[in-house]
């Protein structure tokens, strides 16, 4: 990952999605709906009330910019084996105790070294080495103004666009930016509201609602479920999650179950046993999900794509590399079964 070593300078750009409450403002970007006093910031740490107006402090300010394999997002059924110019900033509207990117997600903008990459430059950079742009690494919802402007220009230049998100966004900003997004990976952390309150300082229902909205807007959607021992790995909850996925999205919905490793403020828990992931994989398949993948595990069949009709190997993966083996466009080249995949 490239870290750009340029000292941050505040860009006083008025934010979208807020309302004035006397000398306070109410942010309407995400379900927290923070009420912010003058010269204070919302929970995300990057949106500030300045004399009764809400400003974003991170417009075009990047902590990371790197060409990634699309499989790293992870997106397995969306332009496999392509590269995506991946951009991140600082801040987040979650406070996850296990965050893998806490050095940027929990950072204040003035305490980090950031690079100014305007939307037009981001698109030009992407066109030199990638097929698309992804807003990732930290939560892109809080970067809404920049992500919106950049995604719009990216689409005009023939690039695909991706959100890698926790799904904590209000309906209006979601619908507005969805016009310029092609794919989204939503991190559904649990089906339990208690989990979200304890681990993320948020709630589950807005996340589930956002998943359905992204689907309604015809975006390609994949979901990731990080399996944390003793916290969200009960097989009853896994079954509840799988049944919700099938009911709302169908058996062809792509789901990634990934292994947890101790990090940040959750160093007391062990890594997810591979045996547990196999149990979860088998539960998900038994419930009827056709495309289930395991992540953060040693290389094996659980990251490959097989035809659910005849078992033909369609895409072989090793790490973040992918090779198309048995696809003719979006159909199995052995039996002709249509695969929900964008080539």
Q: How much is the pLDDT for 84?
A: 98
Q: How much is the pLDDT for 12?
A: 66
Q: Under 8 Å CB-to-CB from 60, ≥6 apart: which residues?
A: 11, 116, 117, 118, 119, 146
Q: How much is the pLDDT for 268?
A: 96
* Phi, psi of 172, deg, nearest 5: -65, -50
| Cα(93)–Cα(28) distance, integer angstroms | 12
Q: Is the pLDDT of residue 1 over 50?
A: no
Give the closest residue to 48 by CA, choosing from 89, 95, 14: 14
8 Å CB contact between 10 and 147: no
Q: How much is the pLDDT for 3?
A: 34
Please give the share of the chain, as a percent, with pLDDT higher than 90: 94
Determine the Cα angle at 232 with ends 230 and 236, to 5°: 100
- Region 175-183: what's the mean pLDDT? 98
Q: How much is the pLDDT for 112?
A: 86
Q: How much is the pLDDT for 11?
A: 56
Query: Order of strands, edge to edge, in the sheet holding 313-318?
Result: 305-306, 313-318, 321-324
Give the closest residue to 122 by CA, choosing from 144, 91, 153: 153
Q: How much is the pLDDT for 5?
A: 36
The DSSP code for 238 is: H
Over residues 75-119, the pLDDT tens digits come to 999 999 999 999 999 999 999 999 999 999 999 999 888 999 999
Q: How much is the pLDDT for 319?
A: 85
Count other Cβ atoms within 10 Å, centred on residue 134: 28
Over residues 21-78, the pLDDT tens digits come to 988 999 999 999 999 999 999 999 999 999 999 999 999 999 999 999 999 999 999 9
Q: How much is the pLDDT for 299?
A: 84
CA–CA distances in Å: residue 318 to residues 85, 154, 292, 311: 21, 29, 16, 19
CA–CA distances in Å: residue 183 to residues 119, 132, 140, 241, 306: 19, 11, 13, 21, 21
What sign has the CA pseudo-torsion 301, 331, 164, 119? Answer: positive
Mind listing the domains of the chain with CATH numbers? 13-56 (no CATH), 61-303 (3.20.20.70)
Greater confidence (240 vs 7) lies with 240
Give the closest residue to 324 by CA, choosing from 336, 335, 312: 312
Query: 85-121: buried (b, 16+ CB within 10 Å) or exposed (e) per residue?
Result: bbbbbbbbbbbbbbbebbebbbbebeebebbebebee
Q: Is the pLDDT of residue 10 over 80?
A: no
- Region 111-139: what's the mean pLDDT? 96
Q: Is the pLDDT of residue 226 over 60?
A: yes
Give the closest residue to 283 by CA, choosing from 229, 230, 239, 225: 239
Characterize the bridge pairing of strands 183-187 and 254-259: unpaired
Count other Cβ atoms within 10 Å, centred on residue 222: 21
Give the closest residue to 90 by CA, choosing from 79, 101, 81, 76: 101
- Cα dihedral angle (60, 62, 67, 71), rounded to 10 degrees? -100
Give the closest residue to 231 by CA, choosing from 264, 207, 199: 199
Q: Under 8 Å CB-to-CB from 250, ≥6 apart: which residues?
A: none
Q: How much is the pLDDT for 298?
A: 87
Mean residue pLDDT of the chain comes to 95
């Amino acid at each position: 990952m490239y870290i750009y070593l340029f000292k941050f300078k505040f860009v006083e750009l008025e934010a979208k999605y807020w309302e004035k409450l006397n000398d306070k403002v109410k942010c309407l970007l995400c379900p927290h709906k923070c009420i912010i006093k003058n010269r204070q910031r919302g929970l995300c740490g990057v949106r500030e009330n300045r004399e009764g107006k809400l400003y974003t402090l991170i417009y075009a300010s990047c902590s990371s910019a790197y060409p990634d394999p699309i499989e790293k997002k992870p997106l397995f059924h969306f332009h496999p084996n392509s590269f995506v110019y991946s951009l991140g900033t600082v801040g987040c509207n979650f406070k996850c105790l296990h965050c893998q990117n806490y050095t940027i997600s929990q950072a204040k903008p003035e305490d980090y070294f950031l690079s100014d990459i305007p939307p037009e430059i981001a698109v030009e950079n992407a066109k030199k080495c990638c097929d698309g742009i992804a807003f990732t690494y930290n939560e892109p919802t809080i970067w809404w103004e920049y992500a919106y402007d950049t995604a719009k220009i990216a689409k005009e230049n023939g690039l695909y666009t991706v959100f890698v998100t926790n799904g904590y966004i209000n309906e209006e900003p979601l619908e507005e930016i969805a016009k310029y997004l092609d794919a989204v990976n939503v991190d559904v952390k649990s089906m339990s509201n208690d989990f979200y309150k304890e681990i993320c300082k948020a709630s589950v229902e807005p996340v589930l609602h956002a998943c359905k909205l992204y689907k309604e807007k015809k975006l390609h959607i994949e979901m990731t479920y990080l399996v944390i021992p003793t916290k969200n790995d009960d097989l009853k909850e896994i079954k509840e999650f799988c049944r919700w996925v099938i009911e709302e999205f169908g058996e062809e919905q792509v789901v990634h179950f990934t292994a947890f490793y101790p990090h940040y403020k959750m160093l007391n828990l062990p890594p997810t046993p591979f045996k547990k992931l196999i149990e979860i994989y088998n539960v998900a398949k038994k419930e009827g999900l056709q495309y289930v993948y395991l992540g953060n595990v040693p290389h094996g069949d659980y990251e490959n794509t097989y035809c659910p009709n005849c078992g033909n190997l369609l895409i072989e993966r090793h790490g973040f590399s992918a090779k198309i083996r048995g696809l003719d466009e979006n159909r199995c080249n052995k039996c002709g079964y249509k695969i929900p995949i964008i080539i």
